[in-house]
Structure 1
Amino acid sequence: MNKPKNSLPPSYFEQMYRKNSDPWDFETSDYEAQKYQTTIKALPKTHYHNALEIGGSIGVLTALLAPYCDSLLSIDVSQTAQQQAIARCKDLSQVRFEIAQVPQVYPDEMFDLTLLSEVGYYLNWDDLKKTQRLIIEHLHVGGHLLLVHWTLFAKDYPLTGDEVHNFFGQLTGTHLKHLHGLRREQYRLDLFERV
């Protein structure tokens, strides 16, 4: 099956959120709720100084992650989605928001936690390689990288969840240490530590 060769553009997501304010049922899906709880439970620490969430969408996971962070920067490509996230997190003063398309724009900060959840497969190989390099460069030694991705086939996505996770796994022993892995029927979670 042919898959797109280019990363999905911001307009793809903006159109999705304008048609449906919650196109992936983040607010109402039992599957998403269970996956979010598993994601939070996978964090090896209860406190992070400066965390980055790549692809925060409408902020459901952002709000769950925020209590573990002194500062949490949530970035997304869709203004429509991020407006919902800002409203959802209005009482969470530690959460900051920016519109940014990775890897073209990457925050000029150092983080002790980076979360890449349901985003990596929207990138093509070139952009994933650049994103990987930027994540590593901006992650403190001892900091954590948490990947969570749906693993079923989607013809619209340039990559699969497994391809994304396996690509980061290639850095085990050089830049990353694999701390934890979990596979469920429809998604995969991998936790790494920067070495």
Structure 2
Amino acid sequence: MNPLQSNSLPPSYFDKLYSENPDPWKFETSVYEANKYAATIAALPKERYRSAFEIGGSIGVLTEKLQARCDRLFSVDVSKLAQDKAKKRCQHLSNVNFQIMRVPEEYPNQIFDLTLVSEVGYYWSWGDLKKSQQCILEHLELGGHLLLVHWTLYACDYPLSGDEVHDSFLELPSNKLRHLKGQREEEYRLDLFERV
């Protein structure tokens, strides 16, 4: 593995993007994003989750869809600009809580039955990805689900690729995570795991 840069992307990287464009990845309007979000929700094996954790909630488009399957959803992001928009979008939803948090330097002291890592893992350095994996495993209950969804095309300023992120979870010991489902589309892949 030869990452283009060895450090995780800092919060300032995202604040700059959001200050120049409130929806830099067209989460609200892209057909690609809409189809990917539908596949993400459809991949969830349980109809209802008690306590879910979304790492990198951005402006809350997926957050709003995900919360319909959760009693409680905790969504974090590194950018206040993005999260302010997410809070506004979800202000009518009492089961969603938000916090500015940079994983893995910080991680909530809770146990979850669902953790979602969507379009965020390739912003981590290799070392931070490994630390994040450890945090996710420690805070995912037995039988809980981990869902990864990432764009797989080349991005010159990302430390890792989507495939590297997913493959690194597939390489974790099978006595920690069991792979339940893999789905590859033209521009993204989805992998579902269960904590064992």
**TM norm structure 1:** 0.98
Separation (CA, whole Å) in 2 of partners of 1:166 and 1:74:
24
Report the RMSD for the aligned CA atoms in angstroms.
0.9
CA contact (8 A) 2:17 2:24 kept: yes
Separation (CA, whole Å) in 1 of partners of 2:124 and 2:189:
17
Separation (CA, whole Å) in 1 of partners of 2:27 and 2:109:
29
Separation (CA, whole Å) in 2 of partners of 1:96 and 1:6:
29
Separation (CA, whole Å) in 1 of partners of 2:34 and 2:9:
25
Q: Secondary structure at 1:81's aligned position in 2?
A: helix
Q: How does 1:75-114 map to 2 (within 5 A)?
A: 75-114=76-115
CA contact (8 A) 1:172 1:178 kept: no
CA contact (8 A) 2:3 2:160 kept: no
Separation (CA, whole Å) in 1 of partners of 2:3 and 2:99:
33
Q: Secondary structure at 1:25's aligned position in 2?
A: coil
The aligned residue for residue 138 of structure 1 is 139
- Runs of 5+ unmatched residues, structure 1: none
Separation (CA, whole Å) in 1 of partners of 2:170 and 2:69:
25
Deviation at residue 172 of structure 1 after TM alignment: 4.8
Separation (CA, whole Å) in 2 of partners of 1:109 and 1:101:
16
Q: Secondary structure at 1:44's aligned position in 2?
A: coil
Structure 2 residue 179 is matched with structure 1 residue 178: yes
Structure 2 residue 43 is matched with structure 1 residue 42: yes
Q: Secondary structure at 1:185's aligned position in 2?
A: coil
How far does the alpha carbon of each residue in 1:114-147 deviate from its partner, in whole angstroms, 9 at most, with x for none?
Answer: 0000000000110000000000000000000000
The aligned residue for residue 163 of structure 1 is 164
How far does the alpha carbon of each residue in 1:69-88 deviate from its partner, in whole angstroms, 9 at most, with x for none?
Answer: 01000000000000000000
Separation (CA, whole Å) in 2 of partners of 1:173 and 1:102:
24
CA contact (8 A) 2:3 2:159 kept: no
CA contact (8 A) 2:76 2:101 kept: yes
CA contact (8 A) 2:54 2:63 kept: yes
- Residues 2 and 137 from structure 1, CA distance in 2 versus in 1: closer, same or farther, beyond 3 angstroms? closer
Q: Secondary structure at 1:14's aligned position in 2?
A: helix
- Runs of 5+ unmatched residues, structure 2: none
Report the number of matched residues.
Answer: 195
Structure 2 residue 71 is matched with structure 1 residue 70: yes
How far does the alpha carbon of each residue in 1:11-39 deviate from its partner, in whole angstroms, 9 at most, with x for none?
Answer: 00011001100000000000000000000
The aligned residue for residue 54 of structure 2 is 53
Percent of matched pairs sharing the same residue: 62
Residue 17 of structure 1 aligns to which amino acid in structure 2? Y
CA contact (8 A) 1:2 1:155 kept: no
Separation (CA, whole Å) in 2 of partners of 1:182 and 1:172:
21
Separation (CA, whole Å) in 2 of partners of 1:77 and 1:120:
13
Separation (CA, whole Å) in 2 of partners of 1:86 and 1:124:
28
Q: Secondary structure at 1:75's aligned position in 2?
A: strand
The aligned residue for residue 17 of structure 1 is 18
